[in-house]
Chain A
Amino acid sequence: MKNKLETIINGVKFKNPIIAASGCYGFGREYNELYDISLLGGISSKGLTLEPRQGNKGIRIWETASGMMNSVGLQNPGVHRFIEEELPWMRKHDTVIIANLGGSLIEDYIEGINLLNKTEVDMIELNISCPNVKTGGMALGIKADIAFEAVKLCKQASEKPLMVKLSPNAENIIEMAQACEAAGADSLSLVNTFNAMAVDVRNKKAVFNNTYAGLSGAAIKPIALRMVHQVCKNVKIPVVGLGGIYTLEDILSFIMVGATAVQVGTANFNEPNILPTLIQQLEQYCEEEKLNHISDIQGII
């Protein structure tokens, strides 16, 4: 039954097309206390930067209607400590490990990739779309020509399959996707969070120290779905869909519009054991619909 869900992206075999999204799942240690993370298709690590980061000050989390905003600011142990302390632990589990790499300077991206090349990570997910760092990430995610140059250099450096994570804040999501594909991206994941804002009316100030923060959760799903549909129609490389996925129906929607796999982030907070539940529901769906493989329904819309 399991092989109905087995999915290959850029030569990497996932036991199912359900991946824990970066930033919501740490390195898997905490959720592994609730269930065996080897069940998962893959884990995209907490966003890494070359040097450790303490992240943003002030409020980092704000619930919104059908969603939430975050402004964590890439707090992470840095690539070196990831390789020394987190990766060996993750590697003990039978799941695909995707190192999510962000940064401010292109030199830092390249150095990070050079370090990850020598490790047992299966893929690198290039975060060119974090809204919560003041320089770098975001501009890279907005302008297609800037993204093209950056992805080209990263691809030249990378010995691992390179998945590029797109921002919904891109000026034109189709041009952005095509630019990344032309620059050599092996696959794409989209969407990251939407740039958003909240006001603390009582104290008459912005909630977040950085003013703007990233919106995720069910609220963004219809827009994310539209963008994944548009991108899938306009590139040939595999696309991993994400943005507000909570239910089996959500997963099926993303696959039907063309996604090869999906990532689930915010829903983990709503329902801590959601990933094993969704995997089981997807297996059951394949049985009930008598599919030979989940890809039978991929891109049918």
Chain B
Amino acid sequence: MEYYQSEIIFNQEIAPDIFLMEVTRNKEEIEPGQFFMLKTWRDELTLMRPISVYNVLPKQVQFMYRIAGKGTALLSNTKPGDAIQLLGPLGTGFPYKKVHGEIALLGGGIGIPPLFETAKKLKALNNNVTVYLGFKKELFAIDDFAGVADHLFIASEEGEEGYRGFITDLLKPEKFDAVFTCGPEIMMEKVWRMCKEKQVPVWLSMERRMACGIGACLGCNCDTIHGTVRACKDGPVFSGDVLVF
């Protein structure tokens, strides 16, 4: 983890309110499922914003985010060449080295981005990767995932493309050696229950409001069988064996 100033290379809207931002990075290794605290402000807002890593490049890192409030709205207004402060990489990501064989990645909405770097890493280790992406309406990041996944399933609740309904309708956990998921908590809880029922190992990436992002403030509590833990440091990715819903 390091705190440093970086430069925005591009920041573009790829779907309504969804942005892809590329920034320069230092040499520190970034694991899939990790995140950074970001800010482009000093006084306008009190807190930095936790944004997960979408894609790691040799000298850059890409973030994909949705405008959800003031922080992400400020991020969306930045332009190439603007300065951005990075704190990270932070947290415990997906255990891509621990799993082997047929792996399913299931993402919903703005929970999709951390699965892209994860898919890349799993493919590099010769796993078979099946990706399930669920959207409300407009699709995004599809081409990137199509380029790396062995199989790609798409669902949209209101849209025209792919299966019309919830992405969890398409998942058959028993076909896989492990499932990684990130998205709305209600969706992840469903995946968790489906995997438990079929005794398939599952890992979930939890989203929380964060203040420090590094494990000091205890603001991002998650309930586990071991008690209250920190999403920012102990997570955001947790094994389904320890999480409590």
Contact = CB atoms under 8 A, between A and B. Distances in A.
A75 B221 contact: yes
Contact of B220 (A46, A60, A217): A60
Main secondary structure of the interface of B (DSSP, over half): loop
Nearest to A271: B42
B218 interface: yes
A34 B211 contact: no
Interface stretch (A7-15, A62-70, A102-110): A62-70
Given A54-B227, A54-B228, A55-B228, A217 B219 contact: no
B87 interface: yes
Contact of B46 (A31, A54, A67, A75): A67
Contact of A272 (B43, B210, B214): B214
Contacts of B218: 26, 46, 55, 60, 72, 75
A268 B219 contact: no
Nearest to A265: B217
B215 A269 contact: no
A111 B112 CA distance: 50
Contacts of A268: 212, 216
Contact of A30 (B46, B212, B223, B228): B212
Given A34-B1, A63-B47, A72 B216 contact: no
A7 B93 CA distance: 43
B48 interface: yes
A24 B47 CA distance: 13
A70 B217 contact: yes
Contacts of A68: 46-47, 211
Contacts of A269: 46-48, 211-213, 217
Given A68-B47, A272-B3, A26 B209 contact: no
A61 B214 contact: no
Contacts of A46: 218
Nearest to B223: A57
Interface string B188-223: 000000000000000000000111111111111101
Contact of A62 (B42, B87, B209): B209
A262 to B, nearest CB: 18
Interface in B39-68: 39, 42-43, 45-48
A30 B87 CA distance: 12
Contacts of A273: 3
Contacts of A266: 46, 211
Contact of A217 (B42, B46, B212, B216): B46
B209 A30 contact: no
Interface string B82-99: 000001000000000000
B217 A72 contact: yes
Q: Looking at A266, A268, A272, which has the most chain B CB atoms within 10 Å of its CB?
A: A272
Nearest to A64: B46
Nearest to A54: B228
Interface of A: 23-26, 29-31, 33-34, 46, 54-57, 59-64, 66-68, 70, 72, 75, 217-218, 266, 268-273
8 contacts: A24-B217, A26-B215, A30-B214, A56-B221, A61-B211, A66-B46, A68-B46, A269-B213
